[in-house]
Structure 1
């Protein structure tokens, strides 16, 4: 049977890349996006002064897959992009900054607690196998460091009443299951052992670079637009390429019905226009339960808690005090902020002194955070000049953006993914929604490999 028409549901970065890959293999490709624009969380916003902000720290990197990188960064060698050979990140913990490491430093804890914690950490010499984050950390870092470092971070991200003992390892995707704890020489030696490599961060850049050379790890290049449009420039360029390739993009639309026969999706019906799309291959970049419901099947359901992203975009009349970091983690429990993005450092050039401060909260907590309080925190943390004035900005509320990764959520999502995969064999589900991976580069590589495998088998 000829490869006639492929349909992509979900117009984020992954969906657009999938559409371009499929257009090389199918006569027609249609991309469907529920929002009124493509790009998803990689869209940017501008304030009244023209300063551009992103919905999070979105700094794409090359995947190492030639066909993928040619799609993603076709104009990367132009002046439109700032190439970043090494991402600079630090963290605020224990009332002070460490601008050389993203990992919280246990030595900032009270001395007796620190010494007790080090004793526990040293005695845990095996790599835990648990998929539960608390159990993993307790048997890796030890109970003292887990309770004093990890638990406050989990409560900050997932709520004071978060079911800590039910959170899966996905809850640690921001990297705080690794800490700084021991002297640099001791750390460098112990990190040759898998159990210690997984829980300790290097204290010195030289040790990290030596390890990269030892493991023969290639350098990773990161990119950020210099055009003043934020990461939204990337979305715009990809959309233009998708359109030039002849892919039909339909926005403000969703799938109401999916017809399937003999383990094949055969057509889709759109909800608003009631248009029927023939379908020989479906790339699904959305939660699997939506596809199952559209197929007339009963998806597994469970209790899912979704966090709201509250982002304060701020532009000041004086330069930011940190001239080095591209983004920063705020692990200190005294602040609700968990991440900062410093745009002048990302672009390498800027007409603005702007940043984004992110908070994860429940929808009913949004009004409890105010811009003046956030600015005061940034001043007290030494990011913003005490004499600086906020000249423009925007507050962005993104509801239902981040699921609390409990065992129940994981089980339900996995069951729906398996049900969909077993029901039809001409569907590929995006890695993020299959539970296989989360980080953007990994999601894109997984999508590429899945599309190659599925279409080559046809």
Structure 2
């Protein structure tokens, strides 16, 4: 049994890491700068008692039994705590129409001359693209026409009309819209047997998708949403109970002032405004690397990317939502700044409200341009709620600094800081989204789990 490990960052990844590390360390301490753990997986409640999340946060099983047990409990008891979703229902709104069967923008909805020109270009793009920039990547894979009429408007929606799209890297496509629907369903199905086409077009029928799963011997993972009517924060509370029960210490509203070392080994961590130095044999770091470099007194590159602000309109209506199937929806249509909707009655079998969240990304100075009446009017035009529905309670939540605008300079500097940190000390695991390798929550968790086990097995 080792002595002491410290986890910096109290998000889902940090909570999982603390649980796993407590199996091998006598003392594990989580250090979180906020007043509570959970990060973006916390929830909010309106005056009517309806709960909402800070986005579409619907976790899925990882396929690793030990990890899934840590996260969601024993297999035989999960249905007591979770709404188990065997098929996550998602769709998208594009060119003024809903498609509730696919998250990908449908090129068939474009003007016929644009559509046929786009298809002609797409079918001739038979090579994969190695471009790090999203516009050139899409032009080389989808063709200039579909890039112009589908991709560019979505990029402006997400990153702002002021943004030079030529500076954005392929990471700007993190929400998956660089894959589109095109051609007749049978043609698309045949083309998806070719890797270069498989990466850029989607299936148009469930039958074709299931055929592919059978061929690949793959399955869609189960997704989970808490049965307790508290939003996804119930997951955070569940993990905190397990963490505290395991004897992990949690220090809130605190940050790192100094990391002490002996040659290449971290030996202790000093917190701001505290004299005590916490012993540390292993540091699990799920915060931005430059903070650790500063605490170590190492050279760092100050990275000042533009950070997008998220406005999440949490709305509760007096009539049921019109879509009673979808769990969340993408909004790719350029005529509204809303880019994603989360429909809670479809997520929680115990929901007593007709509530949803509508997300917008903007600059900090643009927050006041958006008001609830405008959003409700837009949702009615989109037939998300009925014309006769009234919003009976709401919360306008503003979250600054949600994620950086991905440019080559930002990614280069972030990678340089990551490499400096990784190559300077031996007993550190750099994880979470700040590690720069994964974005989706399940991928972050799997990578952290593997990194911890690999570290412990070689020590």
Q: What TM-score do the two structures reach when normalised by structure 1?
A: 0.98
In the other structure, the counterpart of 2:13 is: 14
Deviation of 1:31 (Å): 0.4
Q: In structure 2, what is the equivalent of residue 46 of structure 1?
A: 45
- What is the deviation of 1:402? 1.2
Distance 2:407 2:281 in 1: 35
Q: State the 1:356 CA deviation.
A: 0.1
Q: Distance in 1 between matches of 2:200 and 2:275?
A: 53
What SS does the corresponding residue of 1:423 show, helix, strand or coil? coil
Alignment partner, residue 185 of structure 1: 186
Query: 1:91 aligns to what?
Result: 92
| 1:79 Cα offset (Å) | 3.0
Specify every segment of 5 or more residues in structure 1 that has no aligned partner in the other structure, as ranges: none
For the pair 1:289 / 2:287, whether they are aligned, the reply is no
Distance 1:311 1:22 in 2: 35
Q: Deviation per CA, 1:311-370, whole angstroms, max 9, x where unpaired?
A: 000000000000000000000000000000000001133100000000010100100011
Q: Report the counterpart of residue 167 of structure 1 in structure 2.
A: 168
The equivalent of 1:454 in structure 2 is 455
Give distance in 1, aligned partners of 2:156 and 2:165: 8
Match of 2:248 in 1: 247
Q: Does 1:61 find its partner at 2:60?
A: yes
1:79 to 2:77 alignment: no
Please tell me whether the aligned partners of residues 13 and 432 of structure 2 are also in contact (alpha carbons under 8 angstroms).
no
Answer whether contact 2:286 2:435 (CA < 8 A) is retained. Answer: no
Q: CA deviation at 1:301?
A: 2.3
Give the length in aligned residue pairs: 457
Alignment partners' CA distance in 2, 1:430 and 1:55:
22
Per-residue Cα deviation, 1:6-59 (whole angstroms, up to 9, x for no partner): 000000000000001110011100000000000000000111111000001000
Deviates further, 69-78 or 393-402? 69-78
Counterpart contact for 1:61–1:441, Cα < 8 Å: yes
Alignment partners' CA distance in 2, 1:226 and 1:275:
42
Distance 2:275 2:150 in 1: 52
Equivalent in the alignment of 2:102: 101
Matched, 1:217 2:240: no
- Tell me the equivalent position of 1:357: 358
Partner Cα distance (2:120, 2:305) in 1: 38
For residue 77 of structure 1, report the CA deviation from its aligned partner: 2.1
| In structure 1, distance between residues paired with 2:167 and 2:262 | 39
SS of alignment partner, residue 139 of structure 1: helix
Whether the 8 Å CA contact 1:60–1:440 is kept in 2: the answer is: yes
Query: Which residue does 1:395 correspond to in 2?
Result: 396
String of CA shifts for 1:90-137, please: whole Å, max 9, x gaps. 000000100110000111111111111111001001111222111111
Q: Is the 8 A contact 2:285 2:430 kept in 1?
A: yes
In the TM superposition, residue 211 of structure 1 has moved relative to its aligned partner by 0.4
- Measure, in 1, the Cα distance between the counterparts of 2:323 and 2:34: 36
Give the conservation status (yes or no) of the 8 Å contact 1:254–1:272.
Answer: no
The 2-side partners of 1:396 and 1:41 are apart by: 12
Deviation at 1:295, TM superposition (A): 0.8
Task: Tell me which residue corresponds to 1:345.
Answer: 346
1:267 aligns with 2:251: no
Alignment of 1:104-183 (within 5 A): 104-183=105-184
Structure 2 Cα separation of the partners of residues 202 and 348 of structure 1? 29
How far off is 1:219 after superposition? 3.1
Per-residue deviation, 1:431: 4.0
Counterpart of 2:300?
A: 299
TM-score, structure 2 normalization: 0.98
Q: Whole-Å Cα distance in 2 between the matches of residues 359 and 348 of structure 1?
A: 27
Moved more, 147-156 or 5-14: 147-156
Please report the RMSD computed on the Cα atoms of aligned residues, expressed in angstroms.
1.0
Listed as ranges, the matches of 1:220-235 within 5 Å are 220-235=221-236
Deviation at 1:275? 3.0
CA–CA distance in 2 between the matches of 1:370 and 1:258? 45
Once the two structures are superposed, what CA deviation does each residue of 1:148-189 show, in whole Å capped at 9, x if it has no partner?
Answer: 100110111011122312211111110000001110000000
Indicate conservation of the 8 Å contact 2:154/2:332, yes or no. Answer: yes
Q: Secondary structure at the match of 2:341?
A: strand
SS at match of 2:78: coil
Q: Contact (CA 8 Å) 2:52, 2:357: kept in 1 or not?
A: yes
Asked whether the 8 Å contact 1:312–1:396 carries over to 2, the reply is: yes
Q: Distance in 2 between the 1:379 and 1:21 partners?
A: 47
Query: Aligned-pair distance for 1:427?
Result: 0.3
